């Protein structure tokens, strides 16, 4: 797979494509000053990012839209260069709430369509199919689905638009081998959230597992290529066709995370990094563990 800073889209099963690296935009609203998100998205566009991962519930979607529109007005990018992924929050699964939720995202962004819209639990897909038919969204995907939940949707009688992607936690300590294999078999692109091992906020992250970026092997591989552990971790995933969406609102790190197209890992290094897998999630979403569709009780 040839990937470069200017050419790194990979195909989706519905004929669209997705840039293999995107900027994550979730940042604890109480701890983030106004304008940080917009400034970061603008920096990222200047650096070469074209993919942005956001959501209405992040409370900064308007800043993402503002930054994209400003860069379009400057002539730096056109709408079709940009890939925006929005999310249907769990409390909006009722079919009649789906389109209004997507339309609210479009209003907040002040854009005509989003490139990808993803849902968290296996409901509401029918209403989303209608949104795709109406041109409000180019591609439909899901997030945090386990194999059974993916099968549920794939086997749904009358399904017209298959999910093109599944956004899940994925990095060298949680490599998702089995889910990745299943997704590949079904033409579903895996999108890795928390690809750097997250912000380690103890309110929602299991911090008992050691920090990924301190890993000795990742740092020693990085030394060989004059790269950081973060760059090695991102390269590992894109080299196996997994889309990464590292969040950063720091311009030096936004740049750092994009410098992953000028080196490649050997097959042996890929294997060694894969072997770091601990099968332990940083993001367990335990507050929902007694929900009947909580996705993480099953093996994958």
Residue corresponding to tokens 């609102």: 249
By the rule CB under 6 A, 196 interacts with ligand A2P: yes
- The token pair that represents 114 in the structure block: 């989003």
**Which among 1, 19, 21 is positioned nearest to 9, based on CA atoms?**
19
Q: What is the DSSP string of 253-284?
A: HHHHHH--SS----HHHHHHHHTT-----S--
The answer to the question of residue 235 lying near ligand A2P (CB under 6 A) is no
Q: Which of residues 104-143 bind ligand A2P (CB under 6 A)?
A: none
State both tokens at 206: 């299991």
Q: What would the x/- binding string for ligand A2P be over residues 152 to 181, using CB under 6 A?
A: ------------------------------
**Paired sense of beta strands 17-19 and 9-11, if any:** antiparallel
Q: Reply yes or no on whether 49 is catalytic.
A: no
Any contact of residue 248 with ligand A2P (CB under 6 A)?
yes
Is 257 a residue that touches ligand A2P (CB under 6 A)?
yes
CB distance 61 to 108 below 8 Å: yes
Of 14-22, 55-63, 153-161, 244-252, the window that binds ligand A2P (rule: CB under 6 A) is 244-252
Chosen residue from 256, 265, 273, 281 binding ligand A2P by CB under 6 A: 256
Q: How far is the CB of 61 from ligand A2P (least distance, A)?
A: 17
Contact positions with ligand A2P (CB under 6 A) in 199-228: 199, 213
Which one of the spans 2-10, 141-149, 242-250, 272-280 is the region binding ligand A2P (CB under 6 A)? 242-250
| Distance between CA atoms of residues 249 and 223, nearest Å | 25
Please list every residue from 7 through 36 that binds ligand A2P, using CB under 6 A: 24
Q: How far is CA 149 from CA 144, 156, 177, 293, in A?
A: 9, 11, 17, 8
Q: Given its phi and psi angles, is residue 161 left (phi above 0), alpha (psi -120 to 50 degrees) or beta?
A: beta
Catalytic residues: 58
Which residues in this chain contact ligand A2P in the complex, by CB under 6 A?
A: 24, 194-199, 213, 230, 246-250, 253, 256-257
């Amino acid at each position: 797979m040839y990937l470069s800073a200017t050419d790194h889209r990979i195909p989706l099963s519905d004929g669209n494509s997705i840039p293999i690296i995107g900027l994550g935009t979730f940042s604890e609203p109480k701890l983030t000053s106004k304008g940080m998100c917009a400034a970061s998205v603008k920096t990222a566009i200047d650096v070469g990012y074209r993919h942005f991962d956001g959501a209405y519930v992040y409370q900064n979607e308007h800043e993402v839209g503002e930054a994209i529109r400003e860069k379009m007005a400057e002539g730096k990018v056109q709408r079709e260069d940009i890939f925006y992924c929005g999310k249907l929050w769990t409390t909006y699964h009722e079919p009649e709430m789906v389109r209004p939720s997507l339309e609210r995202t479009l209003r907040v962004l002040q854009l005509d369509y989003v490139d990808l819209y993803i849902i968290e639990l296996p409901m509401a897909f029918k209403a989303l199919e209608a949104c795709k038919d109406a041109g409000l969204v180019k591609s439909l995907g899901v997030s945090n689905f386990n194999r059974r939940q993916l099968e549920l949707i794939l086997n749904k009688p009358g399904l017209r638009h298959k999910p093109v992607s599944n956004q899940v936690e994925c990095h060298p300590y949680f490599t998702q081998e089995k889910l990745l294999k299943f997704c590949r078999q079904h033409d579903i692109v895996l999108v890795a959230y928390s690809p750097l091992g997250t912000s380690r906020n103890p309110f929602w992250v299991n911090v008992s597992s050691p920090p990924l970026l301190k890993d000795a092997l990742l740092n020693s591989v990085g030394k060989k290529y004059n790269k950081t552990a973060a760059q090695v971790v991102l390269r590992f995933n894109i080299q196996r066709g997994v889309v990464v969406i590292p969040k950063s609102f720091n311009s030096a790190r936004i740049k750092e995370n994009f410098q992953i197209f000028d080196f490649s890992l050997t097959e042996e290094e890929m294997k060694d990094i894969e072997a770091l897998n601990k099968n332990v999630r940083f993001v367990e979403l335990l507050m929902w563990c007694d929900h009947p569709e909580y996705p993480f009780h099953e093996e994958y």
